[in-house]
């Protein structure tokens, strides 16, 4: 991908920090705690134009189009409508006239990258597709997009092949302007993908304002006391372990996060729960459930890969070891996704069944729980 000519365009490029574990984050790209250079409102500066002193009055959409290679005026107008273009730190409309010494910034709800993405023929489970978007059921084990240690074999590489793309003509990030959010490598479930500029901007805005409806199912350690409840607590990176996040209940550190949960089935030592996200933070469900003493089953990042509840018998230890082998990842699945169609405005809803590994694990726990109940009778 060709980089913009900084001297010719008078654009200050976004200065990226080195990002570890980029492929391991749960949530929307623009709310990722890995991004150190975040500006106000969860936005990231991609371009900066310092207007010359001799510049004549000119509509801002026309000015930007003239100063950026391979960028359509329509795309710029969409970005302006979405509030992504600012002049002197203030949001403007398309009819704003640029004047000398203005500072124009383009801020977008995701990190600018610059990584080449190669199409790869990787099978995709496409739940829905039209001219503007598609819904993918991501299997566990598939990294969402290229990043540190994962440059090939990702969902984005598969999408590039499926859509017949390498990178969009003016894309400045590794998602090629199509991927709007992500889930962990070892989490399965639904992801929405935009197929054009208008869809991308509208979907990103829905995630930014938390209007997307998302429900997950998880298997957690322990017998959750209440049938339903709400977990509220700021989430930030754990200062003692960069790869983990934790809750800061006082609220002076991190980002506000809310998770609603409901018990679906109890097995004594583990519980099947449904989690509804009110916000979307990195590892939110995993961090919140761990915070209330119920880490996800086999979640090695948050201690769920050890026996936390049960008996001391060798037979039980062998049972748990077999369970871990059956589901060698955290027990979390993005089950439902509800959103407003980015073009028609119609509310659409999608649901996918639990994958085979989680279903098999639940069957195993049901049999164990029933056998224990019979022994007690």
Catalytic residues: 184
Alpha-carbon distance 105 to 84, whole Å? 8
258-266 and 44-50 beta bridge pairing: unpaired
Cβ atoms 175, 29 nearer than 8 A: yes
3-state secondary structure (DSSP) of residue 319: helix
Strand partners, 138: 189
3-state secondary structure (DSSP) of residue 105: strand
Exposed/middle/buried for 318, CB within 10 Å: 0-12, 13-18, 19+?
A: exposed
How does DSSP assign 181-221, residue by residue?
Answer: ----TT-EEEEEEE-SHHHHHHHHHHHHTT-SEEEEEEEEE
Helix (H) or strand (E) holding 70: none
Alpha-carbon distance 14 to 17, whole Å? 10
Cβ atoms 222, 164 nearer than 8 A: no
> Which residues does 239 contact at the CB level (< 8 Å), separation at least 6?
none
According to DSSP, residue 24 is labeled: G
**Token code pair at residue 108:** 């977008």
CA-CA distances (angstroms) from residue 184 to 87, 141, 204, 296, 331?
36, 9, 18, 14, 12
Helix (H) or strand (E) holding 238: strand 234-238
Cβ atoms 271, 223 nearer than 8 A: yes
């Amino acid at each position: 991908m060709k980089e913009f000519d900084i001297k010719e365009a008078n654009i200050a490029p976004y200065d990226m920090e080195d990002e570890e574990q980029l492929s391991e984050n749960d949530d929307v790209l623009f709310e990722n705690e890995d991004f150190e250079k975040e500006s106000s409102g969860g936005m990231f500066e991609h371009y900066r134009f310092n207007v010359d002193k001799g510049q004549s009055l000119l509509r801002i959409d026309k000015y930007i189009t003239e100063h950026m290679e391979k960028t359509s005026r329509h795309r710029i107008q969409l970005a302006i409508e979405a509030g992504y273009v600012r002049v002197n730190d203030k949001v403007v409309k398309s009819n704003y006239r640029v004047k000398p010494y203005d500072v124009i910034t383009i801020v977008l709800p995701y990190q600018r990258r610059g990584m080449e993405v190669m199409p790869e023929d990787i099978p995709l489970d496409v739940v829905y597709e039209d001219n503007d978007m598609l819904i993918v059921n991501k299997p566990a084990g598939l990294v969402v997009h290229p990043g540190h240690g994962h440059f090939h074999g990702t969902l984005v590489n598969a999408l590039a092949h499926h859509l017949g793309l390498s990178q969009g003509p003016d894309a400045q990030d590794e998602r090629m302007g199509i991927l709007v959010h992500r889930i962990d490598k070892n989490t399965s479930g639904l992801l929405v993908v935009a197929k054009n500029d208008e869809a991308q901007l509208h979907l990103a805005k829905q995630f930014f304002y938390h209007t997307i409806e998302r429900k997950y199912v998880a298997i957690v350690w322990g017998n959750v006391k209440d049938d339903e409840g709400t977990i509220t607590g700021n989430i930030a990176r754990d200062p003692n372990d960069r790869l983990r996040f934790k809750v800061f209940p006082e609220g002076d550190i991190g980002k506000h996060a809310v998770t609603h949960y409901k018990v679906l089935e109890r097995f004594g030592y583990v519980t099947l729960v449904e989690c509804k996200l009110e916000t979307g933070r990195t590892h939110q469900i995993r961090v919140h459930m761990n915070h209330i003493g119920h880490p996800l089953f086999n979640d090695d990042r948050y201690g769920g890969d050890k026996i936390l509840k049960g008996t001391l018998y060798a037979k039980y230890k062998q049972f748990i070891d077999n369970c871990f082998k059956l589901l060698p990842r955290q027990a979390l699945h993005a089950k439902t996704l509800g959103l407003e169609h980015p073009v028609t405005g119609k509310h659409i809803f999608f649901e996918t069944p639990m994958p085979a590994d989680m279903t098999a694990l639940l069957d195993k726990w049901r049999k164990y729980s029933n056998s224990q109940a019979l022994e007690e009778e």
